[in-house]
Amino acid sequence: MSPTSSTDATGSATPTLTVTDNRTGQTYELPIENGSIRAMDLRQIKVDEGDFGLLAYDPGFKNTANTRSTVTFIDGDEGILRYRGYPIEQLAESSNFLEVAYLLIHGELPDRDQYDAWDHEITHHTFIHENLKQFMDGFHHDAHPMGMLVSTVGALSTFYPEAKGLDDPDARHMQIIRLIAKFPTLAAFAYRHSIGMRYAYPDNDLSFSGNFLNMMWKTTELKYEPDPVLERAMDALLILHADHEQNCSTTTMRAIGSSDADPYSAAAGAAAALYGPKHGGANEAVLRMLNEIGSVDNVADAVKAAKNGEFRLMGFGHRVYKNYDPRAKVIQGLAHEVFEVTGKNPLLDIAVELEQIALEDEYFVERKLYPNVDFYSGIIYQAMGFPTSMFPVLFAMGRIPGWLAHWQENLLDDEQAIVRPRQLFVGEDERDYVGIEDR
């Protein structure tokens, strides 16, 4: 029977997957919804009544959807990224980070009053409790700023016990404001500690990104005045990092939130996941890689070594994008604006040459490995004066609204439950204990 617009090949109004278990000859009809089947529908497929039923085995969740979400849409083949339906290119061009944070969390762009209230609330929550400085001061002089950030974000939960009131929308709103507002302060304080400089406090007269640059770079001037080009570039970079659907750190945020832990503890876990060089730590790894390559003349040999598996081309490849990461394209454009002010970062030539050779090489083409968001971002950050150790911290600062949007979406989703996957046990069967003398 040929499918009509409202039925599938079996004539069913709900599209179904017919599965035959050849162990028993049994056939099952599994409903297909949103291009997926429910993993729980596999459990009915058994050999006998005592059987647990079939599981889906998916290391790294490469083909598993764990949620329905309305926050961010990515089409990896087409290189499309939209926050709440708005293309990333338009937001990077015309919006600002606080407005994008509002969009991600509330689902709509704010009107003027909503924006002004949001901006005012965040601006007036940038200070951290003075005791938190003692946490910062306790770190070794060469502590990695990301390790400091993970620890102090988690410590925030001890200052706001009301954050456990997850059912109260006002309490959730307050913690969302605090986390967005205090991340830059913690980030800048971590940097200032690492260079032995006193902390520069927030300046409420400045924009979100301008104030971050103030807390990073202020020295003896009475009032720090950010360079408008660098302020704008910082803001655009934060927009580009603000969300990316179910990436490793966001999934971590959802998983921790699923146990009803407070959002500060969840954000600390998400930041810890982001720290990994396969994820948000890649921008730092890209700069190390480009410095090791050292010159444009060495690029061809570096690509050969990457193809031989001697090292991973950091900033290349992506679980979802099998096309150019749209964020990398926008960042390339930003690089030229920043270099007008800072002078060109010589590593850019090596990066461009590396991209050129890789994109023409069969190894990368057949694996659909393109530059991702981390490939060019570090080159800009370095030109703006940030040490490489601060790169994952900048990534986290951008990503906090995305983490919070997904944390809240997960909390409010009646379908969700505490994250507790199954396993395929392939270990030892039962065996008796043997005393050490007899082993």
Does position 322 interact with ligand SDX (CB under 6 A)? The reply is no
Q: Looking only at residues 31 through 50 of this chain, which bind ligand SDX when binding is defined by CB under 6 A? A: none
Residues 46, 173, 312, 329: which binds ligand SDX (CB under 6 A)? 312
Residues 43, 124, 367, 422: which binds ligand SDX (CB under 6 A)? 367
C-alpha distance from residue 33 to each of 53, 73, 411 (Å)? 21, 18, 22
Q: Minimal distance in Å, beta carbon 68 to ligand SDX?
A: 18
Residues 144, 193, 244, 406: which binds ligand SDX (CB under 6 A)? 244
Q: Minimal distance in Å, beta carbon 306 to ligand SDX?
A: 5
Does 279 qualify as catalytic in the annotation? Answer: yes
Q: Nearer Cβ to ligand SDX, position 212 or 395?
A: 395
CA distance 222 to 180: 26
**Which range touches ligand SDX (CB under 6 A), out of 33-41, 86-94, 139-147, 278-286?**
278-286
For residue 382, what are the contacts with CB-CB under 8 A and spacing of at least 6?
Answer: 287, 345, 347, 388
Residues 211, 372, 382, 410: which binds ligand SDX (CB under 6 A)? 372
Does position 317 interact with ligand SDX (CB under 6 A)? The reply is yes
Does position 288 interact with ligand SDX (CB under 6 A)? The reply is no
Does 173 qualify as catalytic in the annotation? Answer: no
Does position 315 interact with ligand SDX (CB under 6 A)? The reply is yes
Residues 156, 306, 334, 348: which binds ligand SDX (CB under 6 A)? 306
**Which range touches ligand SDX (CB under 6 A), out of 19-27, 128-136, 369-377, 403-411?**
369-377
Does position 129 interact with ligand SDX (CB under 6 A)? The reply is no
Of 279, 349, 361, 413, the active-site residue reads 279
Q: Nearer Cβ to ligand SDX, position 172 or 244?
A: 244
Q: Minimal distance in Å, beta carbon 151 to ligand SDX?
A: 22
For residue 7, what are the contacts with CB-CB under 8 A and spacing of at least 6?
Answer: 13
Of 193, 318, 325, 406, the active-site residue reads 318
Does position 318 interact with ligand SDX (CB under 6 A)? The reply is yes
Does position 254 interact with ligand SDX (CB under 6 A)? The reply is no
First-to-last C-alpha distance (Å) of the chain? 66
Residues 156, 373, 396, 400: which binds ligand SDX (CB under 6 A)? 373
Q: How many chain residues are in contact with ligand SDX, going by CB under 6 A?
A: 20
Laid out side by side, the sheet with 72-75 consists of 72-75, 80-83, 86-87
- Contact between 227 and 341 under an 8 Å Cβ cutoff? The reply is yes
Q: Nearer Cβ to ligand SDX, position 88 or 187?
A: 88
Q: What angle do CA 149, 212, 228 make, to 5 degrees?
A: 150
Residues 125, 319, 322, 344: which binds ligand SDX (CB under 6 A)? 319
| Residue among 139, 263, 249, 153 nearest 194 (CA) | 139
| Residue among 204, 212, 209, 210 nearest 188 (CA) | 212
CA distance 134 to 206: 26
Q: Looking only at residues 218 through 237 of this chain, which bind ligand SDX when binding is defined by CB under 6 A? A: none
**Which range touches ligand SDX (CB under 6 A), out of 43-51, 175-183, 371-379, 431-439?**
371-379
- List interacting residues with ligand SDX (CB under 6 A): 244, 247, 278-279, 282, 306, 312-320, 367, 369, 372-374
Residues known to be catalytic: 279, 318, 374
